[in-house]
Structure 1
């Protein structure tokens, strides 16, 4: 698959690289696994002096031997002797950067904690002593969000406040997914676009996998997911178990419940029979996997809170794959596929709301976009978009089938917000597959 999008990220990386010719730069790049960080960095460094080092979980001596050879070949430099400690290797790199400008990418940087946790202190000491005479463009890339956050944002950690720039890599947006489908499956339907968005969430690796398998319709995508040796079946475990550590089963249970529409804390606690406030807080703030949803216009401290999984694919994985691990383990893929088909309309109904929220966001016309419900979940409104500058409010009902949308009913529900929207012009939209 060809390289798509990332124009803003590439422009920022170029700006940082140019700045590094005058003063050393340390950039942190974070994004979930499979999002395309490595491809982005390699695209940016094409034809430019650069070194790419991948931190595997192996002995420090072996890592250093591998790194020395990579540096010698990438920068066309000689080195005589042996390096067995990363602090010595990093000191050598910083010395090289005093006479030349180049980019050093260290991928899966957080894995140094497993190799030798003192490496972070060594980097800090060498960086502080040599950065003033260096021309290095240093990029630390990581996929375990909680560990990267701790390394660089915890005031007790040696690399706290050392970074000069940060990049958070997000999934492809809906416009990029449309571009990809146009290139590889030009006759796609709204149903195909919705399935492609629902199952990949714009995560680059999943998109690439489906493109390479020529899987663009709902049924062909499901056939690709539910087959022997599928990339997708173990993906939730592969992406998250290391993040969560020994408490992963509790986190997985919570995410499974949220994915199955148990979206309030009381609902989750009543089922698990335990307090989950701390877990929800970490899932939101440390792992960035869920987010709080409050009714638009809710007061500060309002207890009207729901949670949702932010990642489309993980929402699918926890709803259908994790929940049916027994069938997956005995390779009864057809059984799970039938369950997906049975609940598909409900599942993608919520995905369609996300699609239109993102579409409104990308329009750049609104200062706030959200949803609304009153006490007891009364008067639910799928989408409300506000333009405070022009005093404009857009209310939208979202359904797969437009004929099932009643705009008069939507207007009646919206009238409960008349006091808060006094002086606003109001628009009412019926959004369905045909509007994608």
Structure 2
């Protein structure tokens, strides 16, 4: 896989290693976000021991760990009876050394021995502290990393010198990989999301339809069963979780709607939703003007674009895909893809809003999100409490240019957004895939900003680089 440098993350790791003091870093994040590739890139030209844990018996895990240490130092493999001996051996060998010790998929080790964090604590306190070496613990099980490594109850709590919660790429970052023009890049991102593995599987010399059919709809393709595989690695019985994800992906976004679509009672459903949130597979949102803790107007969304695509189009049609994938694409996916992409377009426009704020093209806002109340919805609302100013914006993924009707509708809905004083300042914006009707910009006041494809392209062209 090609590595696209994650500049900020690499810089943080490099700064820590170059500090000439001992360091203990924690790197974690959802599966497929590129943690292993990041660490391999970091270690590549530096002295290091890299150990990738596997799901196997504790004795075999420990033996491999010790073998890795001995191999690095050209040493005879010693007899080791427990993890305390293993880390004592590591401590002896790194005395006077300056190297990186990376333990990848650390949760696999904890699964076999939940006392392991205590052994690591002793190593950090008694061995690592006297060196200029760096220990990195990495893992995909977010719940294990947050509880057993970062949590208050962990023996390792307070000992880390830094951490990286590695996120999927934003759309702006993903454009370093997606070799389409802006509109097709947004369509493609609505299918792959920002996971490096999925982004780099697509062949951008081919059109999007070809990629979907070859990389997702083929029963032999890696992505055909990918979500099911991911869930099975995290959950013992994923069936109900899959039904919840399918319900959310197909438009059932409130707890009552999800319960109705899945037949799961509200009590158990709440626990399932909490688990999916903890795994970062879904996200809960409330109107941007409401309190996240107190509001009962919550909605749920699938947190990953690829999973949302898969649970909307692939999972409900598995039998048909096995027999006639082309018919599924032509009859189900292609006609409904614009509606699917429209949701992604709103997220992309929020990225554009933040970039416009950074550049000064829009006023400064501290919160940006979605707003709804009853039948009214506004795609993007930005709040600036200190200045008593509000931004109100709509995003349209349509084939026709946006006209005066949308602007008038937005002004009307703005009056029903209960936030700030009656004398608040209001700023408006429209985002359109297909531009705007002639004369619209001239007819609207200075408090309006219009972002068509050209303006979006300028805002969303990444100048940084990313890592797969």
Give the deviation of 1:261 after TM superposition: 1.0
1:41 to 25, 39, 42: 39
Give the deviation of 1:110 after TM superposition: 0.4
1:201 equivalenced with 2:200 (yes/no): no
| Separation (CA, whole Å) in 2 of partners of 1:151 and 1:335 | 48
C-alpha change, 1:60 and 1:305, in structure 2 (3 Å) is closer
Q: Which moved more, 1:388-397 or 1:304-313?
A: 388-397
8 Å CA contact retained: 2:30, 2:279: no
When normalised by structure 1's length, the TM-score is 0.88
Residue deviations 1:101-141 (CA, integer Å, cap 9, x gap): 11111111101134433433332333333343233311111
Pairing of 1:59-78 with structure 2 (within 5 A): 59-74=57-72, 76-78=73-75
When normalised by structure 2's length, the TM-score is 0.83
C-alpha change, 1:80 and 1:169, in structure 2 (3 Å) is closer
C-alpha change, 1:147 and 1:323, in structure 2 (3 Å) is farther
| Separation (CA, whole Å) in 1 of partners of 2:207 and 2:421 | 42
Q: Which residue of 1 aligns with 2:294?
A: 301
3-state DSSP class of the match of 1:343? helix
8 Å CA contact retained: 1:28, 1:139: yes
1:148 to 138, 145, 149: 145
Q: Which residue of 1 aligns with 2:305?
A: 312
C-alpha change, 1:353 and 1:73, in structure 2 (3 Å) is same
3-state DSSP class of the match of 1:239? helix
8 Å CA contact retained: 1:52, 1:106: yes
Residue deviations 1:204-225 (CA, integer Å, cap 9, x gap): 1111111xx3456321221222
1:397 to 394, 397, 422: 394
2:229 to 233, 238, 249: 238
| Separation (CA, whole Å) in 2 of partners of 1:242 and 1:44 | 27
2:260 to 251, 254, 270: 270
Q: Which moved more, 1:131-140 or 1:43-52?
A: 131-140
Q: Which residue of 1 aligns with 2:366?
A: 367
| Separation (CA, whole Å) in 1 of partners of 2:223 and 2:429 | 36
Residue deviations 1:354-411 (CA, integer Å, cap 9, x gap): 1111222344343110111112xx2211111234455543222111125356111111
Higher relative contact order (CA 8 A, sep 6+): 2
Q: Counting helix residues as a fraction of each chain, which structure ranks higher?
A: 1
8 Å CA contact retained: 1:381, 1:396: yes
2:320 to 296, 303, 327: 327
Residue deviations 1:263-288 (CA, integer Å, cap 9, x gap): 0011112332412122222322x222
1:432 equivalenced with 2:425 (yes/no): no
Unaligned runs of 5+ in 2: 359-363, 434-451, 457-468
| Separation (CA, whole Å) in 1 of partners of 2:98 and 2:346 | 47
| Separation (CA, whole Å) in 2 of partners of 1:159 and 1:324 | 46
| Separation (CA, whole Å) in 1 of partners of 2:419 and 2:61 | 64
| Separation (CA, whole Å) in 2 of partners of 1:355 and 1:203 | 16
Pairing of 1:209-248 with structure 2 (within 5 A): 209-210=201-202, 213-214=203-204, 217-223=207-213, 224-246=215-237, 248=238
| Separation (CA, whole Å) in 2 of partners of 1:143 and 1:422 | 48
Give the deviation of 1:92 after TM superposition: 1.4
C-alpha change, 1:61 and 1:277, in structure 2 (3 Å) is closer
8 Å CA contact retained: 2:121, 2:155: yes
C-alpha change, 1:156 and 1:302, in structure 2 (3 Å) is closer
C-alpha change, 1:265 and 1:121, in structure 2 (3 Å) is same
3-state DSSP class of the match of 2:176? helix
8 Å CA contact retained: 1:94, 1:134: no
Q: Which residue of 2 aligns with 1:352?
A: 345
Give the deviation of 1:34 after TM superposition: 1.4
| Separation (CA, whole Å) in 1 of partners of 2:419 and 2:156 | 50
The count of aligned residue pairs is 421
| Separation (CA, whole Å) in 1 of partners of 2:379 and 2:219 | 38
Q: Which residue of 2 aligns with 1:411?
A: 411
3-state DSSP class of the match of 1:48? coil
1:104 equivalenced with 2:101 (yes/no): yes
* CA root-mean-square deviation: 2.4
8 Å CA contact retained: 2:102, 2:137: yes
8 Å CA contact retained: 1:5, 1:176: no
